[in-house]
Amino acid sequence: MARVLQYLLLILMSLALRIRVVGYWSLIYGYCALCTIVALLKLCWNIILRPTATFQWGVRETPPACLNDTSLGTHCYVRIKESGLRFHYVAAGERGKPLMLFLHGFPEFWFSWRYQLREFKSEFRVVAVDMRGYGESDLPLSSDSYSFDSLVTDVKDIVEYLGYNRCCLVGHDWGGTIAWLFAIQYPEMVTKLIVLNSPHPSVFTDYALRHPSQLLKSSHFFFYQLPRFPELMFSINDFKVVCCVGLSTFKVKVVCASILCVLCVHAHAFICIVVCCMISHVLSSLPLSQNHVRSPVLLLWGERDAFFEQEMAEACRLYIRNHFRLNIISGASHWLQQDQPDIVNTLIWTFLKEGEGRKSYRN
């Protein structure tokens, strides 16, 4: 009888756990569905009732003039033999100077680093790359092509192609996630790591699974996993919804915002696989000690970022085995390097001057 009761108790506990898990994810996806319905209603309102007030342009066939600004650098291309992919990047500064490599986030491209390209080219060889699936870089169609291993390997291949064996690595948003993983996997290639609005992957995984509110803030992860629906949303009315989002979010001129229409579609294959379980899978394949970063780290975060949590930012310190500086910028949004470029550039210069100094960057 005792065994029967014990067996029934185990069944009830297992059932309760499953109900909890189902309820948890139902809440997350239910919230995503609600946001999707609201977005559709707003889109219909703009298209049907306010067609001219909101939408005044479509997808351009020619690049906006601001992308050809020579003061930002030279447009270059590299084809990596191993992957066979061609990458586009913009470079400035003398070739013999230390390398500072910039990795953009979603749904951006090299242009998001325009203020930093101008600022740091005086003492660095600055390179802002379009990652695979973005901008003018190649777009592999298979979702398997966007694994973290592939994205990290891309960074390694590009650094070596540029003639360097190490760099100062700067990443924002999901580019920041790749920067964290690159510094973990190839510590000898990162002299200093600068990350904007992106926590250490282990911190994000742990925090998100313990705080449903953080998953709700990251609900777009799950939206992009829906089959074909994200592409449908973006493509409605000649991709003009993306242009509108670009204007309000990035605070750039109309002539520059139109490029986002193509970028968001190209970037879909990347973002749809980036969820906390994917990050957890990558990190679980590494020994625990290898989740730590041995390079000096600067973490910058905008206080008005919807993803910002003080506890999550502070927890990154646990995974740094070197100097760690955290700067939370009040009044700044998620698009930190474009929203507050002067403050960001000043903080980066201060960080670069600390410790070893700039001489440590030379090969």
The reported pLDDT for the residue numbered 144 is: 75
Distance CA 42, CA 112 (A): 27
The reported pLDDT for the residue numbered 234 is: 61
Q: How many CB atoms lie within 10 A of CB 268?
A: 19
The reported pLDDT for the residue numbered 122 is: 92
Distance CA 12, CA 14 (A): 5
Residues 6+ apart with CB under 8 A from 238: 58, 59
Torsion of CA 36, 41, 44, 49, to 10 degrees: -160
149-153 long-range Cβ contacts below 8 angstroms, 24+ apart: 149/282, 150/83, 151/178, 151/181, 151/270, 152/178, 152/181, 152/182, 152/185, 152/186, 153/82, 153/83
Q: Evaluate the CA torsion angle 221, 227, 228, 229 in order and state its sign.
A: negative
Q: Which of 273, 246, 301 is nearest to 111 (CA)?
A: 246
The reported pLDDT for the residue numbered 186 is: 94
The reported pLDDT for the residue numbered 230 is: 63
The reported pLDDT for the residue numbered 266 is: 37
The reported pLDDT for the residue numbered 54 is: 40
Token pair belonging to 265:
């579609």
Residues of the chain with pLDDT under 70: 1, 17, 20-21, 24-25, 27-29, 31-32, 35-36, 39-40, 42-66, 207-290, 308, 355-363
The reported pLDDT for the residue numbered 74 is: 93
The reported pLDDT for the residue numbered 139 is: 84
What kind and span of H or E run contains 191? strand 190-196
Delimit the domains of the chain by residue range. 73-207+278-355
The reported pLDDT for the residue numbered 59 is: 41
List strands edge to edge, sheet with 167-172.
Answer: 74-79, 86-92, 125-129, 99-103, 167-172, 190-196, 297-302, 324-329
Q: Which of 97, 111, 106 is nearest to 259 (CA)?
A: 111
Q: Which of 355, 327, 210, 227 is nearest to 276 (CA)?
A: 210
The reported pLDDT for the residue numbered 55 is: 39
What value, to the nearest 5°, has the Cα angle with vertex 306 and ends 316 and 318? 5
Instruction: List helix spans (H) across the chain.
Output: 2-44, 51-54, 114-120, 148-161, 174-185, 201-210, 212-217, 220-223, 229-250, 254-257, 260-271, 276-284, 310-315, 336-339, 341-353
Q: Which of 174, 154, 162, 157 is nearest to 221 (CA)?
A: 174
What's the CATH code, domain 73-207+278-355? 3.40.50.1820
The reported pLDDT for the residue numbered 201 is: 85
Tens-place pLDDT, residues 303-331: 888 776 777 888 888 889 889 999 999 88
